[in-house]
Chain A
Amino acid sequence: MATGSVDSAHREARPRAVNTDHPLPDPVAEPVPAPERLRFSGSGTEYFRIWIVNLALVIVTLGIYSAWAKVRRLQYFYRNTQLASSGFDYHGKPTAILKGRIIAFVLVGGANLAFNYSPVIGFLVFIPLGAVLPWLLVRSFKFRMQNTSWRGLRFGFRGTVAGSYKAFLLWPLLSVLTLGVLIPATYREFKAYQHGNSTFGHAPFSFAGTAKEFYKIFGKTFLFFLLGPVLVIALFLAAVGVAGTRGSFRLDPLVAVALGLAIFAFYASVIASGPYLASQLQNHVWNSTRLERHRFESQVRFRTLLWIVVSNFVLTVLTVGLYRPFAVVRAARYRIESMTFIPSEPLDRFVGQRAREVDAVGEELGEFLDIDIAL
């Protein structure tokens, strides 16, 4: 790996004229560069200080500073993420984010209040909010991508509004109507829309993941982690019920202990299902993503991720939350460093143009409604 980076760095040191009409490079004359592993140089002790200072300033300014805090947080993570020894960067303007946050706060807060006041009025407010959500998500992706750069070149998003309505309204509605049977297909539509419409400079990303693969991943998660424990508990409760009709109504201690263990096993497998699904999805999504002819490889291991999630959880609880920034850095490092970029030609061939400003309303609303919009 190390020799690969040095090698490619030498080649890139010589700038050359970029000609987009150039014929495809001759593979013999120009060797394919070595794969580049993503690196993360952040540390828990550094991020702790950023996090706690942000938190204090957010409290002192009654939340207004949160927009600046978000920019600093993202810049810390982006700049510490390196590909071929160049960092990513985040360019979002705090004022744009603050504006977005205020609008999102008013919209979501208003809808919530209305809902508490009267469910009818609440629905009347929520329905249009749900209807404009796909449109806001397009803007959200645009904002996030156009404000992300690597080697000075901006990412971009060119998804259409119609595509967004299909991916974020039509498919979720269908998957609700089919009682969740379409969830894996819906997830594929999300990712196909998100990854398939992203760009880096002028270069387009593409997504080739198939619904079949997603059905396998979701199906395995369901079988291993949810169905089994549910059946065990159901059988157990049935047995207790049968015993209860014969003997005394009160549970005897042995039954109580066994029930406790069954419930523990249930929670343990539900907790394990999260990292399992996350690891499988990240691997499959990135292994199916291309940037022009360049590929990605993601190798998140379930067991490692489970250990990180569980130990982070325990330490965060034991430290009353103070471990949280360390936990975030640990998880980010593992997930980032599990990724490798496999170039098909040298990395200095990308070309772009200056980015236009986009406002942040969509992204902030997405954050409020807890929608994951990370690339």
Chain B
Amino acid sequence: MNGHVEVSCDYFDGRTTVRQRATLTVLEGRVVVQAQDFRREEPLSAVRVSERMGKAARIVSFADGAFCEVHDHEALQQLLDATGFREPLVARMQTRWSLALGAVACCALAVVLGYLYALPWLAALAAEHVPASAVESMSAQTLELLDRHLLDPTELPQEVRDRLSKRFAAMTPPEDAKVAHRIEFRAAPRVGPNAFALPSGTIVVTDALVELAASDEEVMAVLCHELGHVQEKHGIRQVLQSSVVGLFLTWYLGDLSSLIAAVPAAILDARYSRDHERAADAYAARMLRFNAMSPALLASMLEKLEKSRRDERRDQPGSPSPKDYLSTHPATDERMRALRSQ
């Protein structure tokens, strides 16, 4: 019943490059290759057929390395249909547009979910297991680098520094856990009023920030925010998350250019960074209330920082104000509203 489809093919013996024109057919459950001066018969089960790959010839191969190269896809398909052959699932997926588009959606969904949920979750898990010595040496190196290029020794009087450090040491972090930290003061004319936390717990405060604050309490509020970053290991998490994002983009954009990969990487990292700022704000609010202080202290400090940054920008016309989605910090208005409502 299935012996009447004859497929023309090229037969190769697997040991030489001699090409023989032949026909391929199936007779009573046996594959028959018939050339001008030879005939070969094999049971169906001893013969393999390659997946369909576009216009490329399909290969019907025998156990000893001999094979037929078939260019006539339609005739071969008829023969295969007659023997009840079914293409493997992946091969069928690759030829159907609907499934290919489904795969696009599946990839996009996986990437979005991975970016929004899986990666931050995994990074938080992994951050717990980064050895303390690695965190310590990484932070020490960063501070050294900053000291060399950006920061100068503090010009604040010793008693001011001692008073602030002691005051902060007397505060209790919320959720019982003590967080190891050390406060470093630095003059930083090129940075302006600012504070940042290194993963090891070193919190760097610039002289200008202390001068900008109306009271010690406002400095405490900023320190609470920075302690939030330390407690929740935002530094390490950010490093882990952005290296995965960077790796993914380099792989996906491949041979394009590291330059072009840097822009989306910066945008994607900024979102993580904004999430961390919000989390640190929330931590600061809890800690301030825990110590009978108002979260509004941080809000007023943020307002002043924003104003000083705006003033500085006015001195430098032409530098554009960053849009919120590009910024590493959430809009200050939004943060102040959140803090004042607590």
Contacts and interface: CB of A to CB of B under 8 A. Distances in A.
B260 interface: yes
Interface string A334-352: 0000000000000111111
A46 B106 contact: no
B104 interface: yes
Nearest to B249: A321
A351 B15 contact: yes
A27 interface: no
A353 interface: yes
B66 interface: yes
B55 A41 contact: yes
B16 interface: yes
A338 to B, nearest CB: 19
Contacts of A41: 54-56
B6 to A, nearest CB: 18
Contacts of A13: 19-21
Decide if the interface of chain B is mainly helix, strand, loop or mixed: mixed
Interface residues of A, number: 55
B17 A348 contact: yes
A55 B14 contact: no
Contacts of B94: 49-50, 53, 72
A56 B256 CA distance: 22
Interface residues of B, number: 49
Interface in B50-65: 50-51, 53-57, 59, 65
Interface in A44-59: 46-50, 52-53, 55-57, 59
Contacts of B21: 13
A348 B21 CA distance: 13
B137 A118 contact: yes
Interface stretch (A75-83, A129-137, A191-199, A226-234): A75-83
Interface string B20-36: 11000000000000000
B106 A59 contact: yes
Given A53-B100, A348-B16, A86 B10 contact: yes
Decide if the interface of chain A is mainly helix, strand, loop or mixed: helix
A357 interface: no
Given A15-B18, A351-B16, A46 B54 contact: yes
A52 B94 CA distance: 8
A267 B259 CA distance: 11
A89 B59 contact: yes
Interface string A5-22: 000010011011010000
Interface in A1-45: 9, 12-13, 15-16, 18, 41-43
A288 interface: no
B66 to A, nearest CB: 7
Given A152-B12, A348-B18, A86 B55 contact: no
B258 interface: no
A324 B254 contact: yes
Given A50-B94, A56-B106, 16 more contacts: A12-B18, A42-B56, A47-B54, A50-B53, A52-B104, A53-B99, A59-B106, A75-B53, A87-B56, A87-B69, A118-B134, A152-B14, A152-B65, A321-B253, A322-B104, A354-B65
29 contacts: A13-B19, A13-B20, A15-B20, A41-B54, A42-B54, A56-B103, A59-B107, A59-B110, A68-B90, A75-B50, A76-B53, A76-B54, A79-B57, A86-B69, A87-B57, A89-B59, A118-B134, A151-B17, A152-B14, A152-B15, A153-B15, A153-B16, A201-B16, A321-B253, A324-B254, A348-B16, A348-B19, A350-B16, A351-B17
